[in-house]
Structure 1
């Protein structure tokens, strides 16, 4: 049976080659479709309908001689390949190679000798049974599909069913037992070679609904934890990815997870990197760069044998992999392309034994303090460290030893060594002092004793002078090295950077350009060595120990959301405590809600975008962090705007820094007058609904363009709800006023109703921030709100208030000052 199958496959390939070698027309112009009999070769490409992706022959490296049939992004300048057909069979000459769609409806890739090296159906016995109406189309999703005719026709084959190292939104990993399909990601060998590498990302084959990262398909070193319907249990960071997520499908024969991206018009991918980590990235249009916003495992040193034999890993330098003392990379070319699996080799060969006459003296042991010990030790019986040392020294195959409660020795390459530094999280595996076997030339030179006083004195003076010179040079070199490391660390996404005070003082030009004064301190503009602009906040009035401050800052670093101001780093040197944030070029929301000129009034589209984005950020703080975070000071001054006017909730972390039991404080009132919920004054326990109230008051301001609380003018009340009552009583009826052409009336009406719901005096009647987001986005219907209790004695119905807010928005468009709106 197997022999007949092989004969049939061989015959099929020969017949297919004969068909494909016949003349066929090539494509002309940029299209998205290949039709039966057409071919693609050389520098010809096809593009998706809107030009986001293109398919053609590309070389991943700048100087590579290997070519591949790839799908890559076309709409961005950064060369990003997302799918490769011939991963294990590169082409040397794309001009004489061809991708053909045969008359029988099969995609076949022919090399320069016209030998088929890849087929869309190479393993199927139905290779010649495709209908002649079959076409190959590159979709706008990046999926290259083979289908029977028009767009609604069934898909016969698709590239999403043969993923490489990357998933685009809509693609999936898992298996389909009914159709005999399986999907997993396999890393590239290095950054210029797409052939299958060491690491894979797949669903647990044992049946547990979780994702695994494996080395060589056998060694599992990271697990996501089981799926609970929203996230993987051991990966709570996924709750921070509001616009990105995973949809799951489970049955007796089919289980898969599909990558989804809810952001309209955005570009994003997830992939298994050559370093063995599961990465997520988003294209940032303003910087024209990819931004990595999440990766697992969080500690790169948890990747199994990531740095190879005799390599060492450290999370405090970039790149993470280095070599043990006395060793150097086995292949610098591979290391420069991200492939460190080859590890390191000795600079000087061991003499082994006592043959010191061979040219270098006896081998010795170099002490490496506080390291994660290598895997696979051999235990020996020894009553002391000296006996353990002698046991290793007498065995030429012994490369290192460690003595703790017992004697452990290692033979061959040392794997998974990690240098532990202060502040590192707990590591898996034993930690201790490792004694590494090195050649005599790699050992520190012993100090020789002088037999006379004068030579000793001269030597001491010369040594002192040399030490002073070395210290001066070392300090200069260290400063330059420190700056380079800081610049590299800033380029590494997802890591919190510990800054020195003098580096931040230099970056801010001695804190000369003040941006403003926020909660707990002043904010200054600064420029880091990598030319990125940041905002540096000098904290004032805090009384926290160094350790507690670092713990709280680490908690703030875990808060990652597109509508939360990102914490870049921190400084903690005694009383000098500073935080470093992304710089927001458009400042705070209040500067745009109350501009000095009518021309700068925000249109409704941007106001609504800011309202929805702020609600999403607060919903994340309340509902999707490991610990619920109550902002306690929601107001326009604490909403910052980036270059695209996307809102970022700021100053949310300082209330948490003051004390972790902040949500249980009953008597100490925090926040800003005009935005405080009634429960602050009544003394009941504070819940996230206090932020909902403050958000509602701010939403009044966004709609009306009028401050919540300001100086009285012409005898009018200064508190906003009281002003609403006064203005509603001026109006004679409700209805009949047309909005300007640029305003979505339904959005405005929803926003007005939501604002009234948020300021209900009884917190139980207020919606959660998650419900606020759904109401603003139109996911759920917003009922007419009841009259807030503080207004119910003055206003007949909620409809009056909603109508007045709509008119107040029209008034704000007509003038930058507060104008009374009335109807006839």
Structure 2
């Protein structure tokens, strides 16, 4: 308490000398003290002089700064946003220093946050008043967080050198609120975790709790499951924990639990000096020292495979390696969520459906166990104690929410644990005597999905089969109603993705309430399947033209898989309900929201943009060259390019796509696409895959310039990007077009200009002179040079008026609505 008392004396002196009476606003920015007044507030903005952008893309706006700059770092308080900057935190963060100045080479580390579960937007405000203390209000006026100190009079806010944020009483400078009493996921040096408090990992999946019985780590499932225990009377390092433990405190050399004068300590290596400790999103409890020093407290006492999510849901951990459950009786029921990241877990190939529970079976996994069952068995339902194995299995089969059974017995009667959520499993040694059994619930293929006798040419490539099936479908329409024909068609095209019931998707989207976006064809909703997989559900509104788009998407991408194409997981087509498509969830939404803005919170640097460009090109190359039949997308534009959590780009929305025989050099079709992205040959309705190359050229230019192809907010002479592009090419001033709102883009201006020449090559009026997408990929990878003779590039003639009289309504008019139908392939 010596450092706190010293800080209080300094504050008293400050108050006595300078704060009689309180001025309207006394704030030293970025000093360590902020006085309370009804007008003392600051707005969340990252364009102020006190804002800092770091090399990793994160931002801070500093309000207070500690005065200590020891150990090459300092603590600051203010607004923080990470690389994606989709929301901001009022936080305390640790910033590295270099020669006494802020180092931008490494982003800040948040050690405490007021609103970790409720990030605020730009223009949110933080206010300090004597009546209410600290109040954080979002831009829409909603109160997000407060210190709830209305019963006490607050004089000021102070950030101490040991990273404690204090609210002080102006009468006697006593501490009336402090951040140390409200830990989030981190403990800093000398901070105490008191009995009854807990650390909660970012995302909320893990927690570390201190009780009178000891120190415990949980995964916050329902109910929570324990994976580490430091029990009372638990002997470790020669120290014993007694009852009535009082607090845990982080020291530079250990994590210490004080109890009746006796100490339980988790020690760090001798040459390690801890600065702070964090409960991580993966359940590890890591201490961080100087530089890159990291020490894992718990892994010394529990195995790597004992962490509940080490291999993701359904993943099996074997000697720190992850795999999916093996085939059962020759049938594979699981696949990896990401082939390149086996620790991301596994998912059921055929998701469980409550409506089809009669097809549920329990399959035993031999030599497999589950982390809580053997070490920390959870509470058990009294009805499931001392029952036989068959009764245990039947209890799970009758409960749709049950995903697995763990049966523990050394005789014919035992304890039955029903699990509604499955985390990582772990292998045991073959032949080892085990008294527990593990059963995973899987769903057999529903018979209606396995009708084969009416399918022609079963062993041919799926695209060829789709064409034959499409002809059969047209003939079938002559004798059946349209609804019956679509049902028949969808059930008899091989290679179809999973078919879900309407009620399954209704439950997954919480009664279709979790809307992500909308447009001409309907809405896109966020959902979670029964196996925990997060998805985006595209709901069509049921008109004939929309049914046509629905069928086009299903038959085009239902059976193709490429890393740069959004994966269609399943669909729903029932007579009495709306049409639904189920896609993989793309957490960063569509490309347009990342490149058409002036918000410093959402700036994509050059490396990210370059990778996205290559990803789009690879996805189109696969469609054009690597399928038995060419697939021409026909609607390439930023809203149809989706980004996952790592900013991998994936082409989406195949509602307008067309299959083309390899023997066909060109096809005749009705006009489709979005004005501004459509190639000039559409005027003749004769197209090749080169229409996608042209659209790619437009998108490429938009990414490099950071603006829309047609921007009606600009003056007439600057409205059309292609017109300006043509002018700048002639003047050899392409550098003027580089996104000037992004400093990183201008720093790489020469490389950006070279890529603009790729765009010019793709935008040539004569489609025969445009490169193929496979050549574009080689150019982007540096294996081929850009064509030097681009004299044929000129502004394309205007497309016909698409506001009225468009055949079949297949042209999307970009100027009539902000939310186009094509955004429906994924989250916004």
Q: What range describes the TM-score normalised by the shorter chain of this pair?
A: 0.3 to 0.5
Structure 1-normalised TM-score?
0.37
Structure 2-normalised TM-score?
0.37
